[in-house]
């Protein structure tokens, strides 16, 4: 559930009309609900209360300091994939000893930074990386905490660009090679085995792939426990959200409907996984991002033109693929709603941005209410993998970001100024 809804014909974020935020801060504009972030984190945390566990929020989903700080206050750990993300967590008040460092391409500088900061564990993805961490830890006279990311070769049945747990993907160590590798690690002087990690993919809305992966991993985990002092098992992230219908899924009523039957929830997730995991006696780590932040945010955009070609009805808006690339990159669905309820017959509409790319499209042939120049639309489910994937393509400044709490709000990122985009550039002297 989330805290975006219509009231008196207007779209609200918690207790604030979205139109008021746009009037104050312009468009395009990212808006986040603090209560939704906290509710999603707390709900997952509570569902897993029978396990010793740590939720490590995936910073890549939404890395704004205001978001990270909101979760830090809940006791969250963090899943990071760069020195920059670690710096963000530290600046936001997060604990370094609750950070895991993932990613297949950690540089020497990043490894040294993470070791000096005292992170909880490296998720190691390859033998060369393992050797690099050992070498750097030795130079620094430190012991590096590590877990190996195991590739269980389980097809998560998700989008090809966000599946991570098969042998065709670049991630982790092949399942069959793991035991021998742990025996090798035990002989390395500057490494400490802390746990085992896996991650099979993102945006999973059924529990079965998680169950299949955990069941495959359990015999391996038990054998490793017999030989090594494991502290944790990280089962990764990947919990999906409802993109369609995003607005309706904000209510408890919708979750009781037949439409919601079978969709993954924290409760169904825990119901299936806790009985499998509890007998291990290990700390269980999770790395959710989208589940916590996805439906906690929206992107508001202004209608600039309405264009009819005789064959197509285009609504041209001021947001573009550089602001929200998911529809262009993943063919992703984002529900689009007006800030004020509209009357009139729905029209098959392409909502498009101003960039000169055919892929600068947010939806095609979608039945939407009629709108006019100056109206505003909200693209829902834009709290994760939205702003973090934004760019300055076409020398376009990135939008402002606003965080709402009850009837209050704060700008957590100022709108970029166009001149700042090329302030660091120089004209050649020759």
Mark whether 356 is an active-site residue: yes
Phi/psi for 96 (5° steps) reads: -65, -35
Query: Within 278-389, where are the H helices?
Result: 290-293, 326-330
Contact 123, 77 (CB under 8 A): no
- The secondary structure element, H or E, covering residue 380 is none
Phi/psi for 109 (5° steps) reads: -60, -40
Contacts of 290 (CB under 8 A, 6+ apart): 58, 61, 202, 203, 237, 239, 240, 241, 384, 385
Contact 37, 48 (CB under 8 A): no
Contacts of 415 (CB under 8 A, 6+ apart): 25, 26, 397, 398, 399, 400
If one counts every other C-beta atom within 10 angstroms of the C-beta of residue 184, the result is 13
Phi/psi for 57 (5° steps) reads: -60, 135
Task: Say if strands 283-286 and 121-124 run parallel, antiparallel, or are unpaired.
Answer: unpaired
Tell me the C-alpha distance between 53 and 88, whole Å.
23
Which of 13, 99, 356, 363 is an active site residue? Answer: 356
If one counts every other C-beta atom within 10 angstroms of the C-beta of residue 322, the result is 24
Kindly list the catalytic residues.
356
């Amino acid at each position: 559930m989330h805290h975006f809804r219509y009231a008196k014909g207007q779209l609200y974020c918690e207790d604030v009309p979205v139109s008021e935020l746009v009037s104050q801060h312009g468009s395009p504009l990212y808006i986040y609900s603090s209560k939704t972030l906290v509710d999603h984190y707390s709900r997952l945390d509570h569902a897993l209360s029978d396990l010793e566990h740590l939720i490590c929020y995936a910073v890549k989903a939404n890395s704004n300091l205001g978001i990270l700080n909101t979760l830090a206050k809940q006791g969250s750990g963090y899943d990071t994939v760069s020195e920059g993300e670690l710096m963000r967590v530290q600046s936001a008040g997060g604990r370094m000893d609750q950070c895991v460092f993932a990613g297949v391409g950690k540089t020497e500088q990043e490894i040294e930074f993470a070791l000096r900061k005292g992170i909880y564990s490296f998720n190691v993805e390859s033998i060369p990386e393992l050797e690099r961490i050992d070498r750097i830890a030795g130079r620094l006279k430190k012991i590096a905490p590590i877990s190996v990311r195991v590739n269980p070769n389980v097809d998560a049945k998700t989008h090809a660009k966000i599946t991570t747990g098969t042998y065709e993907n670049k991630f982790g160590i092949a399942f069959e090679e793991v035991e021998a590798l742990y025996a090798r690690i035990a002989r390395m002087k500057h490494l400490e085995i802390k746990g085992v990690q896996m991650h099979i993919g993102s945006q999973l809305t059924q529990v079965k792939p998680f169950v299949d992966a955990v069941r495959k991993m359990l015999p391996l985990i038990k054998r490793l426990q017999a030989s090594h002092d494991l502290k944790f098992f990280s089962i990764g992230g990947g919990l999906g959200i409802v993109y369609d219908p995003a607005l309706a899924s904000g209510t408890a009523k919708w979750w009781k409907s037949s439409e919601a039957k079978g969709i993954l929830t924290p409760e169904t997730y825990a119901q299936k996984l806790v009985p499998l995991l509890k007998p291990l006696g290990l700390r269980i780590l999770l790395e959710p991002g989208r589940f916590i932040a996805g439906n906690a945010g929206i992107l508001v955009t202004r209608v600039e033109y309405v264009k009819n070609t005789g064959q197509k009805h285009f609504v041209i808006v001021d947001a573009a693929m550089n602001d929200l690339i998911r529809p262009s990159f993943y063919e992703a669905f984002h529900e689009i709603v007006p800030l004020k309820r509209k009357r009139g017959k729905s029209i098959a509409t392409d909502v498009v941005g101003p960039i000169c790319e055919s892929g600068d499209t947010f939806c095609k042939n979608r039945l939407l209410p009629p709108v006019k120049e100056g109206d505003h639309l909200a693209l829902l489910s834009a709290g994760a993998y939205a702003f973090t994937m934004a760019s300055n393509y076409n020398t376009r400044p990135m939008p402002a970001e606003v965080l709402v709490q009850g009837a209050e709000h704060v700008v957590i990122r100022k709108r970029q100024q166009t001149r700042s985009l090329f302030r660091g550039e120089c004209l050649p002297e020759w």
